[in-house]
Amino acid sequence: DVKVTQSSRYLVKRTGEKVFLECVQDMDHENMFWYRQDPGLGLRLIYFSYDVKMKEKGDIPEGYSVSREKKERFSLILESASTNQTSMYLCASSLNSGFTYEQYFGPGTRLTVT
Amino acid sequence: AQSVTQPDIHITVSEGASLELRCNYSYGATPYLFWYVQSPGQGLQLLLKYFSGDTLVQGIKGFEAEFKRSQSSFNLRKPSVHWSDAAEYFCAVGLTGNQFYFGTGTSLTVIP
């Protein structure tokens, strides 16, 4: 079974702090994704990566950056956290073979910025 | 505009009753279609998927979904709902180039 893990289930940070969210997958998937989930808005893509050191902006990249130094690990960075970044953050991974395969999700990190 | 629509924000059903959750999409070609379920405080779990072939697909937990090209729909069904099915359900569309779009979700409440 694919396993996607996220470093924290709950996180509380102060405004202006630099925040790192870590995601690790164990199935050698090429693609990894970061979403944020807010009530009534569904899942919105922040960034995705299709290979080590490669990244693409999603729909809402402002205020975020990402890092993928190893195939299994994809980090989301909030350079200076703000209260409007309080949200649930979901990481996902999938195969990449020219088709769009299903994504496998981690349990999520609920981030609160005060 | 391209979109995935789940018209029902919230649905309440009695335990043992049948369930149908609606999903419509507006993309030119037939996309890959998925249903996910999210229990409170958890990540998303894949229920079923449609890539091609038989338009009625079976998934886990007794769910099924039917792809109807003429209606651009992929509705999720279950003949008899259990209290443990209370969760949020997301329809998703996958296009070429790893583009993946989610609906805004339908929250299911199951009453005894």
pLDDT digits (tens, 9 = 90+) for A90-110: 999 988 765 667 889 999 999
How many CB atoms sit inside 10 A of residue A10's CB? 10
Dihedral angle, C-alpha B89, B91, B101, A47, nearest 10 °: 30
Q: Do B104 and A48 touch (CB under 8 A)?
A: no
Is pLDDT of A114 > 80?
A: yes
Cβ contacts of B98 on chain A, cutoff 8 Å:
31, 48, 50, 94, 96, 100
Q: What one-character-per-residue DSSP string does A85-103 give?
A: G-EEEEEEEE-BSSSBPPP
> Which residue in this structure is represented by tokens 């259990």?
B82
Q: Do B95 and A104 touch (CB under 8 A)?
A: no
pLDDT of residue A97: 64
Mean pLDDT of B2-13: 92
By Cβ distance, the residue of B46, B95, B102 closest to A43 is: B102
Q: What is the pLDDT of residues A15-58, one digit of tens each?
A: 999 999 999 999 899 999 999 999 888 899 999 998 999 999 99
pLDDT of residue B29: 73
Q: A112 falls in which pLDDT band (50, 70, 90)? A: very high
By Cβ distance, the residue of A42, A50, A90 closest to B98 is: A50
